[in-house]
Amino acid sequence: MSLRAVVAAVVDPEIRVVTIDELGILRDVAEDPDTGRVTVTITPTYTGCPAMDVIRADIRHALSVAGHPDTDVVTVLAPAWSTDWISESGRAKLAAAGIAPPGPVRRDGPVRLTLTVACPRCGSAETEQVSRFGSTTCKALWRCRACREPFDHLKAL
C-alpha cells in the first residue's frame, strides 16, 4: 500500500462513510527520501468544523501504524476547499448514507440562490429546509415533502 493510499483511506470523523480523499481534503503526501519523514498536506473544509484536529490525529495514527511515526500534517488554506472537490464516489456514498450531496457552487451572480435539494431517500425534489443547522454546523436539516423523511444536506461552499 502506498503512503498516499494509507492516508487516503482515513475517514471523515463526522461523515464516516466517506474518506478525506473522497471529500477532497487530502492534497498531497510526500516522503523525504533521506529522513523518511512524511509530510501530508490537507485543506480544511468548513471553518467551524471541529473535525480537522481529529483528522490530523487520524492521519498521524494511520501512518504510524503503517510504520511511519515521523509525520507532519500541513494545512493549506489557498485555494479554499470547495464542495466541488468531493469526488463522484464520495457523492454516491453521501447519498447512500442519506446525506444529500451538495450541488455545484454558484459563482455567477451576487445573489446566492438555494438550489433545490433532491431527497436522498426517494429522489423527490419536493423538499424544504427545516433548519440552517443539522447534526453539525456543516450540514443543514432538510425534510422531504414526498416521503416526509428529514435528511442532512451538506452545505455547498
What residues make contact with Zn ion under the rule CB under 5 A? 119, 121-122, 124, 144, 146-147
Give the shortest CB-102-to-Zn ion separation in angstroms. 18
Nearer to Zn ion, 53 or 126 (CB): 126
Nearer to Zn ion, 81 or 151 (CB): 151
Rounded to an integer, what distance in angstroms lies between the CA atom of residue 66 and that of residue 4? 11
Give the shortest CB-86-to-Zn ion separation in angstroms. 21
38-42 and 71-75 beta bridge pairing: parallel
Strand partners for 29: 40
Give the shortest CB-143-to-Zn ion separation in angstroms. 9
Give the shortest CB-112-to-Zn ion separation in angstroms. 25
Task: Report residue 81 as a C-alpha cell.
Answer: 476547499
Please, what's the b/e burial string for 22-49 (b: 16 or more CB within 10 A of its CB; e: otherwise)?
A: bbbbbbebebeeeeeebebbbbbbbeeb
Nearer to Zn ion, 75 or 131 (CB): 131
Rounded to an integer, what distance in angstroms lies between the CA atom of residue 152 and that of residue 94? 10
Task: Report residue 4 as a C-alpha cell.
Answer: 498516499
Nearer to Zn ion, 44 or 150 (CB): 150
